[in-house]
Amino acid sequence: MVSTTMETLSVRTENKFRTLITKQTYKKGEVICVMPSENIMDKPNRFTVQIAKDKHTHVGKLAALNHSCDPNVILDTENMLMIARRDIEKGEELSFFYPSTEWEMQAPFICLCGATNCIHVVAGARFLPLSTLETQYLSKHIREQMIDLLNNTKQHLKKIQSK
Ligand SMILES: [Zn+2]
How far does CA 98 lie from the centroid of its chain?
Answer: 3
- Confidence at residue 43, expressed as pLDDT on a 0 to 100 scale: 95
- Confidence at residue 5, expressed as pLDDT on a 0 to 100 scale: 60
Among 48, 47, 28, smallest CA distance to 89 is for: 28
Q: How far is the CA of 94 from the centre of ligand 1 (A)?
A: 14
Q: How far is the CA of 157 from the centre of ligand 1 (A)?
A: 32
- Confidence at residue 7, expressed as pLDDT on a 0 to 100 scale: 87
What average pLDDT values come out for the chain (163 residues) when binned by 10 residues? Answer: 71 93 96 93 94 95 96 97 97 97 96 93 96 94 94 89 82
- Confidence at residue 4, expressed as pLDDT on a 0 to 100 scale: 52
Q: How far is the CA of 112 from the centre of ligand 1 (A)?
A: 5
CA distance 143 to 146: 5
- Confidence at residue 107, expressed as pLDDT on a 0 to 100 scale: 92
- Confidence at residue 163, expressed as pLDDT on a 0 to 100 scale: 74
135: alpha, beta or left? (left if phi > 0; alpha if psi -120 to 50): alpha
- Confidence at residue 2, expressed as pLDDT on a 0 to 100 scale: 53
Q: Do 9 and 23 touch, CB atoms closer than 8 A? A: yes
Q: How far is the CA of 124 from the centre of ligand 1 (A)?
A: 13
Residues less than 5 Å from ion ligand 1, measured at CB: 69, 111, 113, 118
Q: How far is the CA of 100 from the centre of ligand 1 (A)?
A: 13
Based on the number of CB atoms within 10 Å of its own CB, is 58 exposed (0-12), middle (13-18) or buried (19 or more)? middle
SS3 62: helix
Global pTM?
0.91
